[in-house]
Amino acid sequence: MRVLQLVKTSHGARWALEQVQELCKMGVEVHVALPNLAGGFANAWTESGAKVHIVDIGFPARELWRLPSVISSFKNLVERVQPDLIHSHFVSTTLTMRMALQNDQSIKRVFQVPGPLHLENAIFRNWELTSSNSQDYWIASSNFIEKLYRDAGISQDRLFLSYYGNHLSDEISSARTEMRKLFGISEEQRVVGSISYMYPPKYFLGQVRGLKRHEVLIKAFSHLGELRSDVTGVLIGGQWGGGKSYERRLRRRAKSVATMRIEMPGAIPPQNSQNVWPLFDLAVHIPSTENCGGVVEPLAAGVPVLTNRVGGIPEVVIDGVSGLSVEEDSPKNIAIAINRALNDLPKLGLMAKEGQSLVKTMFDVRRTAAEIRAIYEHILNEGQKPKRFNSRDFLETNFQEKATNVVPLNKS
């Protein structure tokens, strides 16, 4: 089986890299199209086991005059590789793939959808859907995304479910004391916050806040400081992409909060985040839209999570069992929820253990890559459709001790 995977960056998309590494171990012949090898994962890609081709096939939305050249380069790549199936990980690479092969009925194509953002905008959703034909399939990376496609009229026989997996370490860092010394935070202080990139608002999509809603979290911290004095907010991460203006704006907001100390130490290498999570007593993640990703890392590190109910997050954070969620995510309500959570650390710890065990199976890249291979085989050979993972079934089956009698934080 020869598969051509389309990836638009070597700076991020670690989930695509780790999937490719596992598929190669399983004997799949994987070819990968990358725009360059200038990013932080360049060496990992060259050592992944896949054949890497340097071809930029992202849809050039801001340089449309380049589109004929991009399409020609992609057609030449397909001619050289002769894949049985093409697997795209991004909207931009998917659009290029479909435009280039719109009259080619010989190659099956699959779009593994990493997030719901483009589906929540009518223009971009319709653009993506109308670019497809009978050769196209979709792998939704959450039930939430799959439902968006079903609601848009895509038939179930062309839809699959597979969460993006990661290599989640079995070794959980115990560097809590060292991390607190590094940040100058005493053991008496409760630490709440997040580790994530700061994504500026995409005004052309109607966004007025960043994707991870750091603005709302900073405002929530200002309310939290009015409720208790034993808490410090820590927001780790830098601005995604070029520029620093959005990050500077957030820093000014944080400094203006008089009721609570908020630390913003900047970006850390993604591979180091697992060693930093022990600093936190509670991870708080309240994005405007999301698949599942932002809650996986803290839970894998054994850190309890409080989040909102958007996208695929409720498939991971089952309120009162594997974490806590707020239904109404205004700054004041988030502050009340954090305060209530910190008043019962033993229950938080129990939920963190349940969540940790869940994500270490649900997002184990060895399991998810095996699903992807089974999906390939089903599409190419019309074999049996792979069994779907269900987080609630997993928790019911694998745990005797539940986080019982926990009142969801959105209720009085």
Which fold would CATH assign to domain 176-360? Answer: Rossmann fold (3.40.50)
User: Percentage of residues in the chain with pLDDT exceeding 90?
Assistant: 70
pLDDT digits over 311-338, tens only?
A: 999 999 999 999 999 988 899 999 999 9
Spatial contact of 378 and 386, defined as CB atoms under 8 Å apart: yes
pLDDT at 399 over 80: no
Q: What is the CATH number of domain 2-161?
A: 3.40.50.2000
Band of pLDDT at residue 171, cut at 50, 70 and 90: low
Q: Which long-range contacts does 270-274 make (Cβ < 8 Å, 24+ apart)?
A: 270/14, 270/40, 273/195, 273/236, 273/297, 274/169, 274/172, 274/173, 274/300, 274/301
pLDDT at 407 over 50: no
Which residue intervals of the chain bear CATH 3.40.50.2000? 2-161, 176-360
pLDDT at residue 170 in the model: 64
- Rounded Cα–Cα distance for residues 255 and 239 (Å): 17
As a whole number, mean pLDDT of residues 390-407 equals 66
Residue 412 has pLDDT above 80, yes or no: no
Structure tokens at 334: 């988030």
pTM: 0.88
Q: Which amino acid is at 44?
A: A
pLDDT bracket for residue 241 (50, 70, 90)? confident
Q: What average pLDDT does the structure give for the chain?
A: 90
**pLDDT tens digit string along 204-222?**
777 789 899 999 999 999 9
Low-confidence winner among 115-119, 126-130, 147-151 (lowest mean pLDDT):
115-119
**299: pLDDT strictly greater than 90:** yes
Residue 10 pLDDT greater than 90, yes or no = no
- Over the stretch 61-88, which tens digit does the pLDDT of each residue have? 889 999 999 999 999 999 999 999 999 9
What's the confidence (pLDDT) of residue 374?
96
Q: What is the rounded distance in angstroms from the CA atom of residue 232 to the CA atom of residue 266?
A: 16
Q: Which residue has the higher pLDDT, 273 or 226?
A: 226
In sequence order, the 6+-apart residues with CB closer than 8 A to the CB of 63 are none
The residues that bridge with 262 in the sheet, in sequence order, are 233
Whether the per-residue pLDDT at 354 is higher than 60: the answer is: yes
Q: Helices 345-362 and 391-398, interaxial angle, to 10°?
A: 110
CA distance 259 to 192: 15
Query: Which pLDDT belongs to residue 401?
Result: 46
